[in-house]
């Protein structure tokens, strides 16, 4: 599947399109300690080829989901962004994170949307790889990428990360990707159970961060949910207890993840994994004492 390929779904009356920013294949022990090539090879029968390479690297994706509901065009998470230096030495240089020039806006246009047409930007949480395209560099200044949108930010999430001014890894993304939209008066502060309309709403999924949310879509008896970082890779379906090294509350994160997976398996939700490689959409099924993810 080509990296820039646009993928489309419909949940009842709600069309959804995946807007890609970047896909990589990496050794991901820096993300979850158990994400080793040996782990991947052990689970190769169901991870390969969509979620892993033959030699045990994990496939990860950075993408937005664009949802159209009741007249609203809604972007869920805004990925990496361009031109933004990131003090994140854990990233493999092949990602070209520093001052990258990715084609995200070209993909948005190819899907039939202009920056100006977006009504809402929904952020599952405030890590730098989920807020990057909130802003873009224009005339030497960071300006809102979606100038006519309201940016929905969970107040609890902002209150937590805005205290991290001594940590450059968090301070820099907040400065270049959040503060400009706050200064422009485009932010609506919401609660983690916020409901956008009768079809699109938040589900509080804490653990990775305090105000982390998943975003659910329900229409005509069908259901889909975008995970954010409550789960990073399909292999965690088989091992829900494996926590991300960036989880702020590991016990809560594991509890949230197992509960989410159980509900998704029981209600047959279409699960959009925010970092799952293309096609990034599948179903959770029960397997032995845990789960698997099937496309």
Please tell me the predicted confidence (pLDDT) of residue 93.
Answer: 47
Please report, rounded to a whole number, the percentage of residues in the chain having pLDDT higher than 90. Answer: 86
The arithmetic mean of pLDDT across residues 220-249, rounded, is 97
Q: Which among 57, 103, 97, 76 has a CA at the least distance from the CA of 14?
A: 76
The arithmetic mean of pLDDT across residues 166-175, rounded, is 81
pLDDT greater at residue 71 or residue 86 = 71
Please report, rounded to a whole number, the percentage of residues in the chain having pLDDT higher than 70. Answer: 94
Please tell me the predicted confidence (pLDDT) of residue 158.
Answer: 95
Q: Which among 221, 229, 219 has a CA at the least distance from the CA of 260?
A: 229
| pTM for this model (two decimals) | 0.95
The arithmetic mean of pLDDT across residues 141-165, rounded, is 94
Q: Average pLDDT, whole number, for the chain?
A: 93
pLDDT tier, 85 (very low <50, low <70, confident <90, very high otherwise): confident
Indicate the range of 1-5, 6-10, 242-246 predicted with least confidence: 1-5
CA dist list (Å): 58 to 27, 226, 237, 279:
6, 20, 14, 15
pLDDT higher than 50, residue 90: no
Domain 7-222 top-level CATH class: alpha beta
Contact partners, residue 235, CB within 8 Å, separation at least 6: 35, 39, 40, 43, 47, 51, 52, 58, 242
Vertex 107: Cα angle to 103 and 110 (nearest 5): 140
Please tell me the predicted confidence (pLDDT) of residue 103.
Answer: 94
The arithmetic mean of pLDDT across residues 272-278, rounded, is 97
pLDDT greater at residue 264 or residue 3 = 264
The arithmetic mean of pLDDT across residues 172-177, rounded, is 91
The arithmetic mean of pLDDT across residues 131-154, rounded, is 97
Please tell me the predicted confidence (pLDDT) of residue 2.
Answer: 62
pLDDT higher than 80, residue 3: no
CA distance 197 to 78: 21
Please tell me the predicted confidence (pLDDT) of residue 89.
Answer: 44
The arithmetic mean of pLDDT across residues 239-266, rounded, is 97
The arithmetic mean of pLDDT across residues 106-135, rounded, is 97
Please tell me the predicted confidence (pLDDT) of residue 167.
Answer: 74
Please tell me the predicted confidence (pLDDT) of residue 97.
Answer: 53
pLDDT higher than 90, residue 221: yes
188 phi/psi in degrees, rounded to 5: -110, 125
Please tell me the predicted confidence (pLDDT) of residue 169.
Answer: 72
The arithmetic mean of pLDDT across residues 171-181, rounded, is 92
Bridge partner list, 16: 9, 67
Please tell me the predicted confidence (pLDDT) of residue 172.
Answer: 84
Vertex 33: Cα angle to 246 and 215 (nearest 5): 45
Please tell me the predicted confidence (pLDDT) of residue 84.
Answer: 86
What sections of 186-282 are H helices per DSSP?
A: 235-238, 250-267
pLDDT higher than 50, residue 179: yes
Please tell me the predicted confidence (pLDDT) of residue 87.
Answer: 55
Q: Count CB neighbours of 56 within 10 A.
A: 20
Please tell me the predicted confidence (pLDDT) of residue 248.
Answer: 96
């Amino acid at each position: 599947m080509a990296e820039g390929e646009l993928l489309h779904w419909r949940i009842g009356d709600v069309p959804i399109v995946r807007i890609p920013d970047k896909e990589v294949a990496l050794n991901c022990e820096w993300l979850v300690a158990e994400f080793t090539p040996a782990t991947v090879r052990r689970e190769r029968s169901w991870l390969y080829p969509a979620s892993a390479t033959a030699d045990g690297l994990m496939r990860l994706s950075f993408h937005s989901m664009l949802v159209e509901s009741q007249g609203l065009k809604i972007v869920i998470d805004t990925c990496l962004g361009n031109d933004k230096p990131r003090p994140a030495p854990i990233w493999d240089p092949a990602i070209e994170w520093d001052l990258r020039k990715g084609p995200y806006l070209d993909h948005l246009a190819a899907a039939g949307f202009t920056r100006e047409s977006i009504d809402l930007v929904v952020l599952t949480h405030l890590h730098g790889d989920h807020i990057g395209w909130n802003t873009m560099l224009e005339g030497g200044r960071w300006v809102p990428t979606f100038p006519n949108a309201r940016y929905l930010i969970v107040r609890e999430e902002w209150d937590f990360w805005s205290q991290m001014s001594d940590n450059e890894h968090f301070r820099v993304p907040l400065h270049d990707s959040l503060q400009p939209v706050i200064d422009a008066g485009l932010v609506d502060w919401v609660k983690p159970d916020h409901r956008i309309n009768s079809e699109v709403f938040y589900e509080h999924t804490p653990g990775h961060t305090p105000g982390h949310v998943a975003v659910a879509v329900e229409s005509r008896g069908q259901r889909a949910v975008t995970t954010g970082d409550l789960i990073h890779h399909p292999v965690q379906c088989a091992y829900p207890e494996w926590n991300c090294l960036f989880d702020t509350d590991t016990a809560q994160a594991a509890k949230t993840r197992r509960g989410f997976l159980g509900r998704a398996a029981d209600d047959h939700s279409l699960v959009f994994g925010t970092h799952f490689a293309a096609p990034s959409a599948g179903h959770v099924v029960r397997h032995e004492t845990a789960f698997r993810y099937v496309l």
